């Protein structure tokens, strides 16, 4: 190739590269106008806790920093007796001074100060807080305050641009942008009524409570959490959908508390083995572990072992989707459940109850030792378990009625991998109540070898279904 042709080729390549860059630049949004319009309604929230109060917001070195909540850089360790300060963010939603932020930003605060973009500082009072959603509603005295319009978080789709404005590390009015990574995430077991928005927008300590905006400048979420193993941003952040926050704020303002719907079931994931055992076409839906007596679900005819695949017209793909769907309903509302039971699809009308203060689902710690479980009638099953028909004293100690057999030995590899322990109580096997050792063993031996058997296992107050395959060598 001659020098002249090589020169022409190189300039052509350079020109093509510049054109490509120019085209990409035109495709990228310019957030300048959005920020100029939105920033005046974003506030910095500073809190103080009195001397002698332990700061529950600081993080212990021993606690894994997963789904960590963020506060300002001055938060002391829990054992500190000095006055504690924290910094978060928020935004004004009404011209007369209502402000939305996170509950964890203001929880336990003695004084709350809100600072506006024009440097005004206003004292704030807490109208109400809701730990279940991590939303707090504040009120400052003012008139004609700048506000942010609230958008529709239900319209969000993965890949859309979003912008965060807040005070990370106390750096006021920091702007970061990214895309929606996913919607309807279950990011925190403590907030199972929140279908989180996942983004890759950079947020850090101090961003808590600040707005997540769409490209029209509408609030679509409240920045709340990050996934981190270091305490800093690692590319995954979560926001509370504004639909959830708006409902909470309205209830806090009007009645001082939040009322949520409940149907009275405990649920779990449907994994591949359980789907095979239940003869489901796919591993989706919410598997009912327990139906609370006299609850809405009980009155509607829901049974343990049913798989809820739809609630009020919305498909339940992941089991964590169901609590936010139900919680968003007003108590007394009529809804419809679609459940799969033994291969049949049933439509069950239900009248939603009001969610009451929930008892802890943590294990009570009541586990039988090998000696405790060495009751009479111990027998090996075809599922790699040895179970006992508990005597009256054991039934009383474990809170059993006329149902359940106690695991005294775990011998099968699959049973061990499933997490079943000695002292666990088997309540159901293959869809039948395990009301005695004989019924348990009969159901286990009668199970097909080519398909898993579903068991309902209880440990203290916690229940879960597991699927085990019958061991062919057992006769």
| Most confident by average pLDDT, 140-149, 254-263, 384-393, 403-412 | 140-149
Active-site annotation holder among 46, 55, 89, 104: 104
Is it the case that residue 365 has pLDDT exceeding 90? Answer: no
Quick one: what percent of the chain has pLDDT higher than 90? 48
Active-site annotation holder among 46, 153, 181, 208: 208
Question: Which residue has 């005046």 as its token pair?
Answer: 40
pLDDT in tens, 260-283: 999 999 999 998 989 988 889 999
To the query of whether residue 208 is one of the catalytic residues in this protein, the response is: yes
Q: Which pLDDT does position 76 carry in this prediction? A: 42
User: Which residues are 225's β-sheet partners?
Assistant: 69, 238
Q: Which pLDDT does position 65 carry in this prediction? A: 35
To the query of whether residue 295 is one of the catalytic residues in this protein, the response is: no
Q: Average pLDDT, whole number, for the chain?
A: 81
Q: Which range among 106-110, 351-355, 426-430 shows the weakest confidence by mean pLDDT?
A: 426-430
Is it the case that residue 222 has pLDDT exceeding 80? Answer: yes
> How deeply is 312 buried, as exposed, middle or buried, from its count of CB atoms within 10 A (0-12, 13-18, 19+)?
middle
Question: Which residue has 């095979």 as its token pair?
Answer: 276
**Dist. CA 411–CA 416, nearest whole Å:** 7
* Alpha-helical runs (H) found in 359-464: 392-398, 413-417, 437-445
Q: Which pLDDT does position 372 carry in this prediction? A: 33
Confidence at 361, pLDDT banded by 50, 70, 90: very low
To the query of whether residue 104 is one of the catalytic residues in this protein, the response is: yes
Choose among 117, 96, 99, 90: nearest CA to 36. Answer: 117
Active-site annotation holder among 134, 172, 372, 441: 134
Q: Which pLDDT does position 366 carry in this prediction? A: 29
For residues 335 and 230, the model is more confident at 335
**Dist. CA 225–CA 34, nearest whole Å:** 24
Averaged pLDDT, 120-131: 94
Quick one: what percent of the chain has pLDDT higher than 70? 78
51 C-beta neighbours (distance < 10 Å), count: 11
């Amino acid at each position: 190739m001659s020098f002249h042709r090589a020169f022409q080729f190189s300039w052509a390549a350079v020109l093509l590269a510049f054109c490509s860059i120019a085209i990409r630049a035109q495709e990228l949004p310019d957030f300048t106008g959005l920020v100029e319009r939105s920033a005046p309604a974003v506030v910095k929230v500073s809190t103080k806790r009195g001397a002698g109060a332990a700061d529950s917001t600081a993080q212990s070195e021993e606690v894994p920093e997963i789904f960590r909540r963020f506060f300002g850089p001055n938060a002391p360790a829990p054992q500190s007796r000095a006055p504690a300060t924290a910094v978060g963010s928020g935004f004004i939603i009404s011209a007369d001074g209502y402000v939305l932020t996170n509950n964890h930003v203001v929880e336990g605060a003695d004084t709350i100060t809100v600072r506006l973009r024009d440097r005004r500082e206003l004292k704030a009072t807490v109208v109400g807080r809701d730990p279940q959603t991590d939303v707090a509603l504040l009120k400052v005295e003012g008139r004609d305050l700048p506000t942010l319009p609230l958008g529709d978080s239900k319209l969000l789709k993965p890949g859309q641009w979003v912008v965060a404005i807040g005070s990370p590390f106390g750096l006021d009015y920091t702007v970061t942008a990214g895309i929606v990574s996913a919607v309807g995430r279950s990011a925190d077991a403590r907030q199972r009524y929140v279908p989180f928005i996942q983004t890759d927008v950079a947020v850090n300590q101090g961003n808590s409570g600040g707005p997540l905006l769409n490209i029209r400048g509408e609030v679509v979420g409240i920045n709340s959490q990050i996934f981190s193993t270091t305490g800093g941003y690692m590319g995954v952040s979560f926001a509370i959908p504004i639909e959830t926050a708006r409902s909470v704020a309205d209830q806090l303002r009007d009645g001082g508390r939040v009322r949520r719907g409940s149907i009275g079931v405990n649920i779990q994931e449907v994994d591949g083995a359980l789907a095979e055992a239940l003869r489901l076409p796919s591993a989706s839906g919410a598997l009912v572990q327990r139906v609370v007596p006299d609850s809405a679900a009980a009155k509607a005819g829901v049974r343990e072992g049913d798989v809820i695949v739809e609630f009020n017209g919305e498909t339940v793909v992941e089991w964590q989707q169901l609590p936010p769907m139900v919680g968003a309903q007003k108590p007394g509302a009529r809804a419809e459940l679609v459940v799969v039971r033994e291969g049949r699809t049933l439509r069950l009308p239900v009248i939603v109850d009001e969610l009451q203060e929930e008892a802890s689902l943590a294990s009570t710690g009541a586990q039988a030792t090998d000696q405790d479980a060495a009751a009479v009638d111990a027998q090996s099953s075809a599922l790699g378990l040895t179970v006992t028909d508990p005597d009256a004293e054991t039934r009383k100690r474990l809170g059993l009625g006329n149902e359940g057999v106690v695991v005294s030995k775990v011998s099968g590899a699959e049973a061990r991998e499933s997490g079943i322990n000695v002292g666990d109580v088997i309540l159901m096997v293959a869809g039948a109540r395990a009301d005695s050792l004989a019924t348990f063993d009969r159901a286990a031996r009668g199970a097909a070898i080519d398909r898993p058997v579903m068991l309902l296992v209880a440990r203290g107050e916690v229940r879960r279904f597991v699927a085990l395959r019958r061991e062919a060598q057992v006769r």
